[in-house]
Amino acid sequence: MNRLLTVAEMTLRELLRRRGVLLLLLLMPLTFYLIRRDAYLGQSVRSLLLGVGWAVSTAALFATTAARELEPRLRLAGYRPHHLYLGRMLGLWTVGLVISVPFFLLPLVDGAELRYAGLAAAMLCSVGVAAPFGMLIGALLPRELEGTLLLLTVVTVQMLIDPAGSGAKLTPFWSSREIATWAVDHTDEGYLSRGALHGLAVTTLLVLGVAAVASVRLRRRRHLRHLPVG
Amino acid sequence: MNADDWLRTFTAELHQRRVAADAARHVVAEAATHLREGGGDPWVVFGPPHQYAAAIVESIGTAPGPRPGPVRLHARGITKRYGRRTVLSDATLTVRAGQIAAVVGANGCGKSTFLRICAGLVSPDAGEVTISGRLGYCPQSGGTADFLLADEHFVLVGAGQGVARGPARRAGRAAARQLGWEAGGDMLARHLSGGTRQKLNLTMSTLSNPDVLLLDEPYQGFDQGTYVNFWDQLARLRDAGKAIVVVTHLLNQLDRVDTVLDLTPTPQSGWLAPGVQGGHP
Amino acid sequence: MDSDRRGQWLRGVLDICVLALLRERESYGYQLAQALDAAGVGPIQGGTLYPVLLRLQRTGLVTAQWREGTAGPARKYYRLTDDGREALRQGGSAWLAFVAPVSDVVTKGVAG
């Protein structure tokens, strides 16, 4: 447990010190929100959620790429793979929740008539999905640039795709969009439960994906035999 | 280089040559007394530190090296191909507790790959490695976190072994001091100079108290004084019973190691049979 | 060239000189160097002297002991042993037996 928390803590410290990146990441949801502000509130809130998802997954991507060389040696220093990826995820989720707070308050201050519980749930989904999503991309792609471009593509697709279409459910952030519809347009409860289920399922799948990649990458290799010191 | 530096270097040289610690202390004290009484430039009075150390060794001999301990690392028949290119072919290395092995060879001959295979970070196409005890690995670069302080690195590594924060920090700083570096500052790793970051890198790998230590040219960027400290530190670790493998391209350091593995490919046979030759008895 | 040659001669006889000086009284490195210089043998650097002292100590011809001097720092005092006295007697005689004919030959050469 201590190992897990130490990794989480160090992830947190690292991210909070990347002030420039953090600021730019926060700017994105804000501009998303403000651009759509005049037209239609629903669109504005959805963009905001997508922006939060983008910010957190990018942070996760950066954190994962930065730790690429460090993790093998931490593994040798006594960490198990799950300490490393769960600890990092825990740190990222914490950062995600912290940066969500101002964006949760933004529509509130703006005087929007929303189901705020819905907004909170949607934000949770965004953050929940984004951290393992960014980590998975960071683990699979060799460099930050490729990862960032892929994230950008996903976010754009997410923004442009027809949410009612069957393909939309395959996009990672569909859950928060669905719940946002419930929150903004006061639609029936089906939106909420569908969204929540989707969010939970996607988060679980992504966490399992991250776990699988980390376990393979940090596995004990077959050619190496460890004997205790006798 | 003033007298103190000279004496420090001389001490390190004696240590590396395995002069018994007691005898070395007397010799250094006597030289210091002489310099204090007579003054003069130690380079004139005693000559270059390594030369004087060699003369001392000739006069009094070296301590009987610690009996070669049990085998700590045994790499056998390591072969690695990247596509069509064979990087390593049947490389073999045995290192015992209390020994330093140098892995040498031209650039691109697979020194780092060999080390990564020994560390279990890369799988070979053939061959196996047996490690007894805990393993420490110091990569050539990049093994540090840019946005963390040195202390936080120590805490992170320490936590892997269940070491509490305070002791981990103290152990880290003490290990850093062996390399002539005061690590307690509030500077992020990314702001450290290249050489200092390598000291952090190296310190991290010794911190988990490994039985087998794999070092991939960690002294790059070290200045001269630190460089001496590095080999001094290696000798200390060796004498403490560690098995050490160090990748190096500096052939002038080979008299300080016990075993040499040359990975340079030779044209006629394809590869030089990994020449394992004893240095010290 | 000259100092080179002197160094070579000295290498063969420095241990005997040191033993001879220690016959009078125990002494330490720096003092021995000064005594040799004062006697006209020339300046002996520490890098030459101490290896000789260490070798004499190792072979048991001298013993050594760290002691505080009356003034100044602790010094390593060397003292002749019985074996050392014997080695001095033999080595010294051998040196004299060697140097006397050499002197004769050289003297004739220089005079002629």
pLDDT tens-place string over residues B33-67: 898 888 889 998 999 998 899 888 888 877 665 56
Give every CB contact of residue A41 below 8 A, 6+ residues apart in sequence.
A107, A112, A114, A184
Which residues 170-189 of B are in CB contact (within 8 Å) with A?
188
* Residue of higher predicted confidence among A147 and C4: A147
Distance from C-alpha of B16 to C-alpha of B244, rounded to nearest angstrom = 14
Mean pLDDT value of segment B251-273: 67
The rounded percent of chain A whose pLDDT value lies above 70 is: 99
* Interface contact flag, B147 A14, Cβ < 8 Å: yes
* Interface contact flag, C47 B47, Cβ < 8 Å: yes
Q: Kindly list the domain boundaries of chain C, sorted by start residue.
A: 2-111
Low-confidence ranges of chain C (pLDDT < 70): 1-2, 69-72, 112
What is the pLDDT, as a whole number, of residue B275? 43
* Interface contact flag, B55 C51, Cβ < 8 Å: yes
CA distance C45 to chain B (A): 5
What is the pLDDT, as a whole number, of residue C112? 67
What is the pLDDT, as a whole number, of residue B20? 78
With b for 16 or more beta-carbon neighbours within 10 A and e for fewer, the A195-219 pattern comes to: bbebbeebbeebbebbbebbeebbe
Mean pLDDT value of segment B138-164: 91
- Count residue pairs from A and B with Cβ separation < 8 A: 105
Distance from C-alpha of B52 to C-alpha of B221, rounded to nearest angstrom = 27
The string of pLDDT tens digits covering residues A25-59 is 788 888 888 887 776 777 888 888 988 998 899 99
Choosing among A2, A68, A223, A226, which should be mutated to test the B contact, i.e. which has the most B CBs within 10 A? A223
Residue B279 has pLDDT above 50, yes or no: no
What is the pLDDT, as a whole number, of residue B269? 44
Do the two chains A and C touch, given a threshold of 8 Å on CB pairs and at least 3 pairs?
no
Place B251 in a pLDDT band, splitting at 50, 70 and 90.
low
Which residues 50-109 of B are in CB contact (within 8 Å) with C?
51-52, 55-56, 58-61
All partners of chain A with 3 or more CB pairs under 8 angstroms = B
What is the pLDDT, as a whole number, of residue A159? 82
What is the pLDDT, as a whole number, of residue C93? 94
What secondary structure letter does DSSP report for B128? E
What is the pLDDT, as a whole number, of residue B273? 43
Residue B59: list chain C partners with CB under 8 A: 50-52, 54-55, 58
What is the pLDDT, as a whole number, of residue B1? 64
Contact B247, B217 (CB under 8 A): yes
Q: Which two tokens mark A27?
A: 């700017």
User: Of B46, B55, B59, which is closest to C58 when you measure between CB atoms?
Assistant: B59
What is the pLDDT, as a whole number, of residue B68? 73
Residue A70 has pLDDT above 80, yes or no: yes
Q: Kindly list the domain boundaries of chain B, sorted by start residue.
A: 3-60, 66-134+210-281
Residue located via tokens 């602790």: C74
Give every CB contact of residue C12 below 8 A, 6+ residues apart in sequence.
none
* Interface contact flag, C47 B55, Cβ < 8 Å: yes
β-bridge mates for residue B80, sequence order = B88
Residue C33: list chain B partners with CB under 8 A: 38
Angle at B221 between CA B220 and CA B224, to 5 degrees: 100
**In chain B, which residue's Cα lies nearest the Cα of A223?**
B128
User: Of C47, C50, C72, which is closest to B37 when you measure between CB atoms?
Assistant: C72
Residue B277 has pLDDT above 60, yes or no: no
Amino acid C71 reads: A
CA distance B98 to chain C (A): 27
Residue located via tokens 């994230």: A151
The string of pLDDT tens digits covering residues A75-124 is 988 899 999 999 999 999 999 999 899 999 988 888 778 888 999 999 99
The complex's ipTM works out to 0.89
**Which value, to the nearest 10 degrees, does the dihedral of the CA atoms of residues A33, A34, A40, A41 take?**
50
Contact B157, B171 (CB under 8 A): no
Is B218 within 8 Å of chain A by CB?
Answer: no
Mean of the per-residue pLDDT values for chain A? Answer: 89
Mean of the per-residue pLDDT values for chain B? Answer: 84
Nearest one of C65, C77, C93, C85 to C19, comparing CA atoms: C85
Place A3 in a pLDDT band, splitting at 50, 70 and 90.
very high
Distance from C-alpha of A84 to C-alpha of C94, rounded to nearest angstrom = 77
* Interface contact flag, B45 C74, Cβ < 8 Å: no
Residue A140 has pLDDT above 60, yes or no: yes
Residue C29: list chain B partners with CB under 8 A: 30, 33-34
Within B88-247, residue ranges assigned H as helices are 111-119, 150-160, 165-178, 194-207, 224-239
* Interface contact flag, C46 B36, Cβ < 8 Å: no
Residue located via tokens 């000559």: B47
* Interface contact flag, A78 B128, Cβ < 8 Å: no
Distances from the Cα of B177 to the Cα of B3, B173, B183, angstroms:
21, 6, 7
First to last CA, chain C: 24
Mean pLDDT value of segment B141-168: 92
What is the pLDDT, as a whole number, of residue B5? 86
What is the pLDDT, as a whole number, of residue C15? 93
What is the pLDDT, as a whole number, of residue C62? 94
Class of domain B66-134+210-281: alpha beta
All partners of chain C with 3 or more CB pairs under 8 angstroms = B
All partners of chain B with 3 or more CB pairs under 8 angstroms = A, C
The string of pLDDT tens digits covering residues B11-41 is 888 877 778 777 888 899 899 989 888 888 9
- Strand, helix or coil at A123? helix
Residue A229: list chain B partners with CB under 8 A: 132-134, 211
What is the pLDDT, as a whole number, of residue B272? 44
User: Of B156, B161, B188, which is closest to A10 when you measure between CB atoms?
Assistant: B156
Dihedral of alpha carbons C60, C100, C24, C65, sign? negative
The string of pLDDT tens digits covering residues B67-88 is 678 999 999 999 999 988 888 9
Provide the CATH number for the domain formed by C2-111 in this structure: 1.10.10.10
Give every CB contact of residue C96 below 8 A, 6+ residues apart in sequence.
none
Choosing among A18, A218, A229, which should be mutated to test the B contact, i.e. which has the most B CBs within 10 A? A229
Residue B148: list chain A partners with CB under 8 A: 10, 13-14
Contact C62, C81 (CB under 8 A): yes
The rounded percent of chain A whose pLDDT value lies above 90 is: 45
Residue located via tokens 């651009």: A35
Contact B138, B216 (CB under 8 A): yes
Residue A21 has pLDDT above 90, yes or no: no
